[in-house]
């Protein structure tokens, strides 16, 4: 089955309101009318509304960087799915390695967030990936399998199909070091195999798997040419509209 490529920008903890508006305008100008690739930008919570106003009439969709699984209540600092929906959010990044590393995200909390997101119609972008130490010590497959199984545990096939997986080797994030296209593709094939075991070959064939980790205009084309690489989750290079555009439409 042909999978449509999906490029998403993860702005992380960058952009004040004015910076976000300028970046969103730049993205819309550069790629807003492209329809053969799915495109999303994921600004910080504080800029979601303003960015939505700028992108809403274009093909660029809005994503958030995290969400809390509870619907409402005394959870200081947290944001719910309904709140995200109410400001125009379509996608939500869940289980980013920075969340796992610094903020106590576990496979169990990832699973709760994925279920909450699906319950309210949001489209999860689920991040998985090994550290350098895990790769070197031969634990990579076990780690990725645990993360994928944890995230998708108890999901219906219908909900699983609404998820995107982002394979982001931790050693490649923000380091300038990129997985080779072969390393990325091998990991994606492995992940697809897990989805196949959990759901079916058909589901595994339909689900999109993005690569993330120092993807840039000059390496995107080669990565995206691989059979199992269905897009990218872009950090650093998504903060410049021209670089992001160079990944969406590599020359």
The residues carrying an active-site annotation are: 96, 168
The yes or no reply on residue 119 touching ligand PGA (CB under 6 A) is no
Query: Min. distance of Cβ 240 from ligand PGA in angstroms?
Result: 12
Q: Is 190 exposed, middle or buried (0-12, 13-18, 19+ CB in 10 A)?
A: middle
End-to-end CA distance of the chain: 25
Structure tokens, 250: 């590599």
The yes or no reply on residue 233 touching ligand PGA (CB under 6 A) is yes
Q: Is 233 helix (H, G, I), strand (E, B) or coil?
A: strand
The yes or no reply on residue 246 touching ligand PGA (CB under 6 A) is no
Are residues 40 and 9 in contact, defined by beta-carbon separation less than 8 angstroms?
yes
Sole binder of ligand PGA in the list 213, 217, 231, 246 (CB under 6 A): 213
Of 223, 207, 203, the closest CA to residue 215 belongs to 223
Are residues 152 and 163 in contact, defined by beta-carbon separation less than 8 angstroms?
yes
Site for ligand PGA in 52-81 (CB under 6 A): none
Sole binder of ligand PGA in the list 95, 150, 217, 236 (CB under 6 A): 236
The helix or strand, by DSSP H or E, that contains position 220, with its residue range, turns out to be: helix 217-224
Query: Min. distance of Cβ 47 from ligand PGA in angstroms?
Result: 17
The yes or no reply on residue 214 touching ligand PGA (CB under 6 A) is yes
Q: What is the signed CA dihedral for 20, 247, 163, 77, rounded to 10 degrees? A: -20
- CB nearer ligand PGA, residue 32 or residue 232: 232
- CB nearer ligand PGA, residue 105 or residue 168: 168
Stretch that binds ligand PGA, among 51-59, 140-148, 166-174, 186-194 (CB under 6 A): 166-174
The yes or no reply on residue 228 touching ligand PGA (CB under 6 A) is no
The yes or no reply on residue 231 touching ligand PGA (CB under 6 A) is no
Are residues 31 and 56 in contact, defined by beta-carbon separation less than 8 angstroms?
no
Q: How far apart are CA 84 and CA 91, in angstroms?
A: 9
List strand residue ranges (DSSP E) for 118-205, in order: 123-128, 164-167
The yes or no reply on residue 215 touching ligand PGA (CB under 6 A) is yes
Of 165, 31, 50, 176, the closest CA to residue 110 belongs to 165
The yes or no reply on residue 209 touching ligand PGA (CB under 6 A) is no
Residue nearest to ligand PGA (CB): 235
Query: Min. distance of Cβ 2 from ligand PGA in angstroms?
Result: 25
Residues that bind ligand PGA (CB under 6 A): 10, 168, 173-174, 212-215, 233-237
């Amino acid at each position: 089955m042909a999978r449509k490529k999906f490029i998403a920008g993860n702005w992380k903890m960058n952009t004040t309101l004015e910076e976000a508006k300028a970046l969103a305008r730049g993205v819309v100008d550069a790629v807003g009318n492209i329809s053969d690739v799915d495109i999303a930008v994921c600004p910080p919570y504080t800029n979601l509304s303003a960015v939505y106003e700028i992108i809403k009439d274009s093909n660029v969709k809005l994503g958030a960087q995290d969400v809390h699984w509870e619907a409402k209540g005394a959870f200081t600092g947290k944001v719910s799915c309904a709140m995200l929906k109410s400001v125009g959010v379509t996608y939500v990044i869940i289980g980013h390695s920075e969340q796992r590393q610094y903020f106590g995200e576990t496979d169990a909390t990832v699973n709760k967030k994925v279920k909450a997101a699906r319950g309210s119609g949001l489209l999860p972008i689920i991040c998985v990936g090994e550290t350098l130490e895990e790769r070197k010590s031969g634990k990579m497959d076990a780690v990725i399998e645990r993360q994928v199984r944890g995230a998708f545990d108890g999901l219906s096939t219908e909900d699983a199909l609404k998820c995107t997986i982002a394979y982001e080797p931790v050693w490649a994030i923000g380091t300038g070091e990129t997985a080779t296209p072969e390393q990325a593709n091998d990991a994606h094939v492995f992940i697809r195999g897990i989805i196949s075991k959990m759901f079916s070959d058909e589901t595994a064939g339909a689900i999109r798997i993005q690569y993330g980790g120092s993807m840039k205009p000059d390496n995107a084309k080669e990565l995206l040419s691989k059979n199992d690489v269905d897009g990218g989750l872009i950090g650093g290079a998504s903060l410049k509209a021209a670089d992001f555009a160079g990944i969406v439409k590599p020359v």
